[in-house]
Chains A and B, each alone.
Chain A
Amino acid sequence: MISNIMTMVRKELIDAARDKRSVMAGLYYAIGTPLLMCGMFMLLIGQISSPEDLNIKIENGERAPDLVKYLSSQGITHGDEQDKSLDVKDIRLIFSDDYAAQMAKGLSAEVTLVADNSNEKLQNSIRRLEKNLQTYSAEMGSLRLIARGIDPRVVQPIKVNVEDQATPDSKGGVILGVATMTMIYAVFISGMNLAIDTSAGERERNSLALLLSHPVSTRNIVLAKVLAVTIFAMLGLLLTLIISKLSYSFVPWQELGFTVSISTNFILLMLLIGLPIAIMAASLQLFVSFMAKTFKEAQSYLTLVLIVPMMLSMAASYNIAPDTLQWLPVSGQQQALIAFIKGREIPMLQLLLSSMTTLVIALGLTFAMEKSLKSEKIVFGL
Chain B
Amino acid sequence: MFHGKANESEISMADIITTTSPLKFLIGMIIISLSALSPSVFAKQDSKIDESRVNHCYVDDLAERLKCGFISVPEDRTKPNGKQIDIHYVVLPAIKNGANSEAFLAIAGGPGQSAIDNAAGFSRMFSKVRQKRDILLIDQRGTGRSNVLNCEGEGFEEALSINEADFDVTKETQACLDKLDADVTQYGSLNALEDFESVRQHLGYRKLHLYGISYGTRMAQLYMRKYPQVLSTVTIDGVVPMQQSVLAIGNAINRAFELLIQNCDENELCGKQFPNLKGDLHKVDAELTLKPAISQVRDPLTGESTQLTMTRSKFMGAIRMALYMPNVRALIPHAISEAAKGNFQPVMGLYSLTIDSTGIAMGMHASVVCGEDWQRLTQEERDAANQTYFGQEMITNFEKSCAIWNMPAVESSFSAPISSNIPTLALSGQIDPATPPSWGELAMEELTNAKHFIAPYATHGVANQSCGNDLIAQLVDSGSVEGLDRSCLDKDVRRNFYLNASTVEAIPDKADAPKETKQADTRHTAEQGDSHD
Query: Do B346 and A146 touch across chains, with their CB atoms under 8 A apart?
Result: yes
In the complex, what distance in Å separates the CA atom of A258 from the CA atom of B94? 9
Query: Do A65 and B42 touch across chains, with their CB atoms under 8 A apart?
Result: no
Contacts of A159 in B (CB 8 A): 6, 40, 43, 45
**B165 in the interface, Cβ–Cβ < 8 Å?**
no
Contacts of B388 in A (CB 8 A): none
In the complex, what distance in Å separates the CA atom of A69 from the CA atom of B457? 13
Given the interface contacts A164-B65, A165-B65, A254-B131, does A147 sit within 8 Å of B501 by beta carbon?
yes
Query: Do A66 and B505 touch across chains, with their CB atoms under 8 A apart?
Result: yes
Interface residues on A, range: 35 or more
- Give the segment of B73-81, B324-332, B379-387, B447-455 that binds chain A: B324-332
Closest residue on chain A to residue B322 by CB atoms: A146
Contacts of B97 in A (CB 8 A): 168, 259, 261
**A311 in the interface, Cβ–Cβ < 8 Å?**
no
Query: Do A141 and B1 touch across chains, with their CB atoms under 8 A apart?
Result: yes
Contacts of A99 in B (CB 8 A): 505
In the complex, what distance in Å separates the CA atom of A291 from the CA atom of B42? 75
Query: Do A151 and B496 touch across chains, with their CB atoms under 8 A apart?
Result: no
Query: Do B505 and A70 touch across chains, with their CB atoms under 8 A apart?
Result: no
Question: Please, how many residues of chain B have a CB less than 8 angstroms from a CB on the other chain?
Answer: 65
- CB interface residues, A 30-84, toward B, < 8 Å: 63-66, 69-70, 72-73
Give which listed residue, B10, B95, B353, contacts A259 with CB less than 8 A. Answer: B95
**A161 in the interface, Cβ–Cβ < 8 Å?**
yes
Q: How far is the CB of B301 from chain A (nearest CB, A)?
A: 4
Q: How far is the CB of B392 from chain A (nearest CB, A)?
A: 28
In the complex, what distance in Å separates the CA atom of A166 from the CA atom of B64? 7
Query: Do B330 and A143 touch across chains, with their CB atoms under 8 A apart?
Result: yes
In the complex, what distance in Å separates the CA atom of A326 from the CA atom of B412? 72
Looking at B9, B63, B131, B298, the one whose CB has the most chain A CB atoms below 10 A away is B9
Q: How far is the CB of A175 from chain B (nearest CB, A)?
A: 14
In the complex, what distance in Å separates the CA atom of A135 from the CA atom of B41? 11
**B345 in the interface, Cβ–Cβ < 8 Å?**
yes
Contact mask for chain B residues 184-213; partner A; CB cutoff 8 A; 1 contact, 0 none: 000000000000000000000000000000
Q: How far is the CB of A140 from chain B (nearest CB, A)?
A: 7
Query: Do A148 and B345 touch across chains, with their CB atoms under 8 A apart?
Result: yes
What total of A-B pairs shows CB separation below 8 Å?
Answer: 177
In the complex, what distance in Å separates the CA atom of A196 from the CA atom of B173? 89
In the complex, what distance in Å separates the CA atom of A59 from the CA atom of B408? 64
- CB interface residues, A 131-159, toward B, < 8 Å: 131, 134-135, 137-156, 158-159
**B93 in the interface, Cβ–Cβ < 8 Å?**
yes
Give which listed residue, A144, A151, A164, A254, contacts B502 with CB less than 8 A. Answer: A144
Closest residue on chain A to residue B58 by CB atoms: A163
Q: How far is the CB of A65 from chain B (nearest CB, A)?
A: 7
- Give the segment of B227-235, B248-256, B396-404, B508-516 that binds chain A: B508-516
- CB interface residues, B 316-364, toward A, < 8 Å: 327-328, 330-331, 334-335, 344-346, 348-350, 352-353
Given the interface contacts A147-B331, A149-B348, does A155 sit within 8 Å of B95 by beta carbon?
no
Query: Do B507 and A155 touch across chains, with their CB atoms under 8 A apart?
Result: no
In the complex, what distance in Å separates the CA atom of A134 from the CA atom of B499? 21
Looking at A140, A160, A164, the one whose CB has the most chain B CB atoms below 10 A away is A140
Looking at B58, B95, B496, B503, the one whose CB has the most chain A CB atoms below 10 A away is B503
- Give the segment of B283-291, B424-432, B436-444, B487-495 that binds chain A: B487-495
Q: How far is the CB of B128 from chain A (nearest CB, A)?
A: 10
Contacts of B132 in A (CB 8 A): 254
Q: How far is the CB of A127 from chain B (nearest CB, A)?
A: 12
In the complex, what distance in Å separates the CA atom of A348 from the CA atom of B60? 38
Given the interface contacts A146-B353, A156-B1, does A98 sit within 8 Å of B515 by beta carbon?
yes
Query: Do B95 and A258 touch across chains, with their CB atoms under 8 A apart?
Result: yes
Contacts of B334 in A (CB 8 A): 147
- CB interface residues, B 6-24, toward A, < 8 Å: 6, 8-11
Query: Do B1 and A155 touch across chains, with their CB atoms under 8 A apart?
Result: yes
Query: Do B349 and A145 touch across chains, with their CB atoms under 8 A apart?
Result: yes
A-B CB proximity, top 8 nearest: A146-B349, A147-B501, A149-B345, A106-B502, A162-B63, A151-B300, A73-B493, A138-B1
List 9 extra interface pairs beyond A131-B8, A146-B353, A153-B43, CB under 8 A: A69-B492, A100-B508, A134-B3, A138-B9, A148-B346, A149-B349, A151-B42, A156-B1, A158-B6
